[in-house]
Chain A
Amino acid sequence: MTTDLQSRPRGIGSDYEKVRKLLGSYGPERLEELRDEAIRAFAAVGIPTTKDEEFKYLPLRVLEEGQFASAYGATVSRHEAESGAIGKIEAATIAFVNGQAAPELSHPYVLPGGVFLGTLEDGFGVIADVLDEHLGKIATLAGKLGTTNDDRFVQLNTAYLSEGAVLFVPKGVVVETPIHIQYLNRADHGPCAIYPRTLIVLEADAQAKVVESHVGLDGIVFSNAVTEIWLGHSAKLEHCKVQIEGEHSVHIAKVGAHQEVGSTLTSNNVNFGGKIVRNDIDVFLGGEHTETWLNGANVGSGEQVVDNHTRIDHAMPNCHSFEVYKTVLADKAQGVFNGKIFVYKDAQKTDAKQTNQALLLSPTAAINTKPQLEIFADDVKCTHGASIGQLREDALFYLRSRGIPYAEARSLLVYAFVAEVLDKITVPDLRDSLERMLFEKLRSVSELPPAEETGA
């Protein structure tokens, strides 16, 4: 075998030495140590197999054999960016193509004073103290409860840390304009590995709405994203993560959030694309009286695998979390839901509610669901419910009684099942285009009456 001369690496992470120097040109020197440490941690465990508890249902052989080259440049026109899957969202936009900043696609807005929206690179020049304090500190599970904690894809992302996005909103500032952090991927010269990194820091009483989109335009991409979110005292963030990667791509993402006293986080996690998709949405409640909403809307068809792991660390008393994850699977699609809730010893008066529901549209679709509650406090209210389901008969009859034929009525209820979650998104452009996309996706697997501009 001619391995040395082969320009493409064997497995994910194996070309680190080759690109190390190039990575070193991004950000201050101290990042080099961080990267080196991260690749060592990743290499020690390597690409997971289904024997690894946290990746039990995720087939990742493709990461060994897929010959993904580390990110190379590609060109995307503004027209392509705005007419693509998500369309144009009225938002302050920072765009990346294959992980590299694409200022020509960005949409600068006049943001309130003190707000920083830019690349990590620029961030080190303007708000170095914020980056030093938070970058790489939030996403890790080190020191947290749990016996199967697995940070390897956070490490991998950190090893390849280069360009990325930062949003910083200082104390008391409310950003009304939605922020769009747009990762566009185009693998037009063979499979490509991309490592998007996002840091969102809201200081006390700050508010923002962030759309983080991952959209595949061409080819086979391995996108390994990490997003770190810090919410200060009484800060409020709506974070919409939208994944519409190409049909042969692999997307493995982690959103790690830390909430201080009285803060509110709404996480909307939408997955329509990709071949193999994994999200870890982890929230650490580091202050009392916080509110956390985790919403998930997932549709899989063909041979897609959609795996969502969520984790909420109720480390402080008097915090509320509400979680609703919905998944529709057609054809041979596979789904996974794992919902961990840790209630720490001192976290009395915790109120945690977790719901996950799946609809299977074909006998060959399947979902593995596992609520995992570990409660070390005694005065708490924790509920979880899982259903793999049937459509509501009463609603089906209601629609039919109005003249809508059985097959269409069924499809409409499948649509409604997911749209109910999308309705929680408060960025109207995004919600509308996601509903349109949902509609088209379901239309390809079942019968739906035409939508036109009815805003179904």
Chain B
Amino acid sequence: MLEIKNLHARVEGREILRGIDLSVGAGEVHAIMGPNGSGKSTLASVIAGKPEYEVTEGSITLGDADLLELTPEERAAEGLFLAFQYPIEIPGVSNTYFLRAALNSVRKHRGEPEVSMTEFMKHIRSKAAAMDMDQAMLSRAVNEGFSGGEKKRNEIFQMAVLEPKIAVLDETDSGLDIDALKIVADGVNALRSPERGFVVITHYQRLLNYIVPDFVHVLVDGRIVRSGGKELALQLEDQGYGFLEEELAGQARS
């Protein structure tokens, strides 16, 4: 479903991604792990189309769509969702208005009719209830004054409302205590389905205890250096990223 081939990208003239290949099928959960500065968040930003990143080589496709040819909003309409590492506060715009504008934009792009207000409210109320979210949060301004945990929960809630084909979670676990982590993970697990793929970016293995991946990839220095099953994450937890970096250094010497 999501195909990334030989992706090279840079920001401010510095090359961060140096040839990424990744294929995420429907129903699969892929974890991307790696040390700080390895390019994990850059990968998420490039997939979503953040303007300051420049792709110099390679391709990203979602189904038939060439994502690199599309604006961020068109990518969303194609079914891509990015859960931000640092969700943005937008004082003055309520969650409800924001989500309805988003949902209707996506529907319009797909040639579907706008949802009525009644339908929409029913839709988001049920999603909020499933996320154990306070209904009062719906009328509050987007992320304004939310705690770290509330912001992350709001990201997953938005994902539930927009029902994407592919969701990229950028360090959704960062800054969460264990209770908040569980809530967020439950939210993600509830959205797992045979039609939907996930890319879960994380520095720590901890999150993967709750969102169990089908595949684990290790990103070092802008490249995926190792791919495996969920046991790879456990090995990294035990041994740290050091052993991989040493192996790589060894390969480079030989």
Contacts and interface: CB of A to CB of B under 8 A. Distances in A.
Interface of A: 392-395, 397-406, 408-409, 412-413, 415-420, 422-423, 449, 451-456
Contact of B96 (A393, A422, A454): A454
Contacts of B94: 454-456
A406 B101 CA distance: 12
Interface stretch (B81-89, B175-183, B200-208): B81-89
B111 to A, nearest CB: 14
Which among A395, A413, A415 has the greatest number of chain B C-beta atoms within 10 A? Answer: A395
A423 B141 CA distance: 10
A293 to B, nearest CB: 16
B106 A451 contact: no
A402 B162 contact: yes
Contact of A405 (B97, B100, B105): B105
B250 to A, nearest CB: 40
5 nearest A-B residue pairs (beta carbon): A416-B92, A419-B92, A403-B76, A456-B97, A420-B92
B90 A403 contact: no
Given A402-B162, A449-B101, A453-B117, A395 B90 contact: yes
Looking at chain A's contact residues, is the secondary structure mostly helix, strand, loop, or mixed? helix
Contacts of A419: 91-93
Given A397-B51, A420-B141, 14 more contacts: A392-B88, A398-B84, A399-B98, A401-B48, A403-B77, A405-B71, A408-B105, A449-B101, A449-B105, A453-B117, A454-B96, A455-B94, A455-B97, A456-B93
B105 A404 contact: yes
Mostly, the B contact residues are helix
A448 to B, nearest CB: 9
Interface string B113-152: 0000100000000000000000000010100000000000
A398 B90 contact: yes
B50 interface: yes
A403 B48 CA distance: 11
A401 B72 contact: yes
Nearest to B50: A397
A394 B88 contact: yes
Given A408-B101, A455-B139, A413 B77 contact: no
B72 A400 contact: yes
27 contacts: A395-B88, A397-B51, A398-B87, A398-B90, A401-B49, A401-B75, A401-B81, A402-B73, A402-B99, A402-B102, A402-B158, A403-B103, A403-B105, A403-B162, A404-B102, A405-B105, A408-B105, A413-B90, A415-B93, A416-B92, A416-B141, A423-B91, A449-B100, A449-B101, A449-B104, A454-B96, A454-B117
Residue of A395, A405, A406 contacting most chain B CB atoms (<10 Å)? A405
B109 interface: yes
Contacts of A416: 90-93, 141
Contact of A402 (B50, B98, B117): B98
A403 B92 contact: no
